[in-house]
Protein backbone atom coordinates (compact mmCIF):
# COMPACT_ATOMS: atom_id res chain seq x y z
CA UNK A 1 0.00 0.00 0.00
CA UNK A 2 1.23 3.49 -0.87
CA UNK A 3 0.69 6.19 1.79
CA UNK A 4 1.48 9.83 2.42
CA UNK A 5 2.42 11.46 5.72
CA UNK A 6 2.62 15.10 6.68
CA UNK A 7 5.25 15.58 9.40
CA UNK A 8 5.75 18.61 11.64
CA UNK A 9 8.80 18.36 13.90
CA UNK A 10 9.26 20.82 16.76
CA UNK A 11 12.60 20.66 18.63
CA UNK A 12 12.05 22.06 22.15
CA UNK A 13 14.49 23.81 24.49
CA UNK A 14 17.26 23.76 21.87
CA UNK A 15 19.38 26.73 20.84
CA UNK A 16 19.19 25.86 17.15
CA UNK A 17 16.27 24.14 15.47
CA UNK A 18 17.67 23.59 12.00
CA UNK A 19 20.20 20.80 12.79
CA UNK A 20 17.42 18.49 14.04
CA UNK A 21 15.14 19.29 11.11
CA UNK A 22 17.91 18.92 8.53
CA UNK A 23 18.86 15.53 9.98
CA UNK A 24 15.20 14.46 9.76
CA UNK A 25 15.22 15.40 6.05
CA UNK A 26 18.41 13.37 5.53
CA UNK A 27 16.83 10.32 7.17
CA UNK A 28 13.75 10.58 4.96
CA UNK A 29 15.88 11.04 1.84
CA UNK A 30 18.10 8.07 2.76
CA UNK A 31 14.97 5.91 2.92
CA UNK A 32 14.19 6.74 -0.73
CA UNK A 33 10.85 8.37 0.03
CA UNK A 34 9.24 11.07 -2.10
CA UNK A 35 9.82 14.26 -0.12
CA UNK A 36 8.25 17.73 -0.29
CA UNK A 37 9.85 20.14 2.17
CA UNK A 38 7.75 23.02 3.42
CA UNK A 39 8.15 25.91 5.81
CA UNK A 40 6.09 24.31 8.57
CA UNK A 41 5.89 20.65 7.59
CA UNK A 42 7.23 18.00 5.25
CA UNK A 43 5.18 15.56 3.18
CA UNK A 44 6.60 12.12 2.42
CA UNK A 45 5.09 9.32 0.42
CA UNK A 46 5.99 5.78 -0.44
CA UNK A 47 5.28 2.19 0.56
CA UNK A 48 3.56 2.13 3.97
CA UNK A 49 6.18 0.07 5.78
CA UNK A 50 8.99 2.31 4.54
CA UNK A 51 7.13 5.49 5.57
CA UNK A 52 6.33 4.16 9.07
CA UNK A 53 9.91 2.93 9.61
CA UNK A 54 11.47 6.19 8.43
CA UNK A 55 9.20 8.31 10.63
CA UNK A 56 10.02 6.14 13.64
CA UNK A 57 13.72 6.60 12.89
CA UNK A 58 13.25 10.38 12.60
CA UNK A 59 11.56 10.48 16.01
CA UNK A 60 14.07 8.26 17.77
CA UNK A 61 17.17 10.00 16.39
CA UNK A 62 15.70 13.47 16.98
CA UNK A 63 14.78 12.55 20.57
CA UNK A 64 18.41 11.62 21.23
CA UNK A 65 19.29 15.28 20.68
CA UNK A 66 16.76 16.67 23.15
CA UNK A 67 13.10 17.33 23.81
CA UNK A 68 10.74 17.51 20.87
CA UNK A 69 7.20 17.27 19.69
CA UNK A 70 6.24 15.65 16.39
CA UNK A 71 2.83 15.72 14.71
CA UNK A 72 2.14 13.27 11.86
CA UNK A 73 -0.94 12.87 9.68
CA UNK A 74 -1.15 9.70 7.58
CA UNK A 75 -3.33 9.13 4.52
CA UNK A 76 -3.87 6.20 2.19
CA UNK A 77 -6.57 8.00 0.22
CA UNK A 78 -4.95 11.06 -1.24
CA UNK A 79 -1.85 13.22 -1.16
CA UNK A 80 -1.80 15.45 1.88
1-5, 45-49, 76-80 — which is least confidently predicted?
76-80
Structure confidence by residue, pLDDT tens digits, 14-73: 777 788 889 999 999 999 899 999 988 999 999 999 999 999 999 999 999 989 999 999
Cα atoms found within 13 Å of the Cα of residue 44, Cβ hemisphere only: 24
Within 8 A by CB and 6+ apart from 58, the residues are: 7, 9, 24, 27, 28, 70
The Cα–Cα gap between 25 and 13 comes to 20
Tell me how far the alpha carbon of residue 80 is from its chain's centroid. Answer: 14
Architecture per CATH, domain 2-75, reads as: 2-Layer Sandwich (3.30)
- pTM: predicted TM-score of the whole model, two decimal places: 0.87
Query: If 0-12 CB within 10 Å is exposed, 13-18 middle and 19+ buried, where does residue 28 land?
Result: buried
- Report pLDDT for 1: 92
Amino acid sequence: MHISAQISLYPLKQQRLSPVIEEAWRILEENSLDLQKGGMSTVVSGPAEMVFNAIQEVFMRSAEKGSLSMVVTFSNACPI
